[in-house]
Amino acid sequence: MPTLQGGLLPPISQSTMVQFSIVIPTLNRCELLGKALRSAIEQEGPTHEVVVSNNSSTDGTEQLLGAEASPALRVVKTERQLSMVDHFEFALGHAHGDWILFLCDDDALVPGALAHLSQVIENRPDAEILRFRKATYCYDDGGEERGNFIRYRRAHANRVREVDTESMLRGVLSKFQSSMPRYLNCAVKRSLVEGIRAKHGRAFGEWAPDASGGILLLSERPVMLELGRIMMLWGKNLQSYGPGALINPQHYLGFLKQFACFEGGFSHTPYPELITVTNGTLDTIERTRLKLGERERSMEMDLVPYLKGMIEDAERYVSHGHDSYRDAIQVLRKDLNGRMKKSQRWREWRKGIQKRIKKFARSKVQGLQKELIIESPWGGHDFHDIYQAAQVFAKVSDI
């Protein structure tokens, strides 16, 4: 049986009468965790549990959780600090519900999220993956020119449509597509998760658990359901792995050093020593894909969009004072130009971009996909944190 660093993978807990498990992994962020916890506990309608997995935090996390009296809350704790991937796996193993979704400790569920998911499940009992939309809440911590606001795009809130997972998987490999199911933006049927763990030994892999988990989901089922409704506010703040790592490579390097198998670089990209988020994502995708079946291994990887992402990462690092990335930018640009000239699919890729631009322009005319901002106060409602923002968002936005 595959093992965690220091212990066996826990099997997913035996099912109970709980419909949803909301799993919140956390490590030393008690000042953020309370808001996510409240947004999960206060969900109305379907039976649900909130599983908070404490990765041996040394701040006030235990005291915060000990003061919460909700019967919906279950707290588990690792024996020692695990890497993010192993911690996600540990937390997943303690979920009781028939459906599982992850919530980061700096995010918040919108009121009514579980009720809407339950309604979709009732109408589509064959569903196993429900991917929902997220809005962005920008914390007031210097990550943006201003903070404490919500950014989102309008869409058909009640839309439910089937998505071909093979096409989406090909999109991940050829277009740097970020809309795949990632556990952090979807609810997944428990039986599907159990099947993935039985087949592959675990649901998440290095280095990015959301990307690796998403690829495994796409490889297991021919279709998933895509919901138009916004269910969650994604918290953008400098403490987060994503936004922090996008401006400081040392932040990302510190994250990678959590892994015992990390030896200072990557092994599945053409740039093993280049420490950027996009390069790490590429390595994650390749590691995961090569463990799958012949269909996935035979899918061709297009490095052009990933090279563009690496260049953007490196330019952002330079703009924040990390000048050592200047040489990497020149190398990446040279490789990008060479690959674009050699690629026989470049014209097709460009045509696809043009088609998407036209589609986007039409949706703008219809009032869809337009980026909207909600700032406090809005519609007579004030908000000062992500929990309050989620409450206001549910009341005043056309989601």
Task: Find the range with the poorest average confidence among 33-47, 197-211, 237-251, 320-334.
Answer: 237-251
Which range has highest mean pLDDT (238-242, 247-251, 270-274, 370-374)?
270-274
pLDDT in tens, 342-357: 554 556 566 667 767 7
Q: Cis (ω within 30 of 0) for the bond into 234?
A: no
pLDDT of 348 reads 55
Residue 244 CA to residue 251 CA, distance in Å, equals 6
Contact 232/107 with Cβ under 8 angstroms? yes
What's CA 94's distance to the chain center, in Å?
20
Contact 160, 124 (CB under 8 A): yes
- Helix H, strand E, coil C: the string for 341-379 is HHCCCHHHHHHHHHHHHHHHHHHHHCCCCCEEEEECCEC
The mean per-residue pLDDT over the stretch 129-151 comes to 85
Q: What is the pLDDT of residues 123-137, one digit of tens each?
A: 999 999 999 999 999
Give the rounded distance of the alpha carbon of 322 from its chain centre: 27
Which segment, 116-125, 161-170, 377-386, is predicted with the most confidence on average? 116-125
Eight-class DSSP state of 381 = B
Please tell me the distance from the alpha carbon of residue 13 to that of residue 94, in angstroms, as a whole number.
5
Nearest-CA neighbor of 350 among 305, 313, 307, 300?
305
Place of tokens 């093992």: 3
Average predicted confidence (pLDDT) for the chain: 87
Q: How far apart are CA 77 and CA 177, in angstroms?
A: 34
CATH fold group of domain 18-399: Spore Coat Polysaccharide Biosynthesis Protein SpsA; Chain A (3.90.550)
Q: State residue 273's pLDDT score.
A: 95
Q: What is the mean pLDDT of residues 125-153?
A: 86
What distance in Å separates the CA atoms of residue 322 and residue 313, rounded to the nearest whole number? 11
Residues 207 and 33: their CA atoms lie apart, in Å, by: 23
Give the pLDDT of residue 366. 47
The predicted pLDDT at position 380 comes to 75
Q: Are 123 and 346 in contact (CB under 8 A)?
A: no
Q: What is the residue-wise DSSP string for 187-222?
A: EEEHHHHHHHHHHHS-S--SS-HHHHHHHHHHHH-S
Percent of the chain clearing pLDDT 90 (strictly above) = 62
Q: Is the pTM of this model over 0.75?
A: yes
Residue 56 has pLDDT above 50, yes or no: yes
> Would you say 92 and 193 are in contact if contact means Cβ atoms under 8 Å apart?
yes
Q: Domain segments of the chain: what residues? A: 18-399
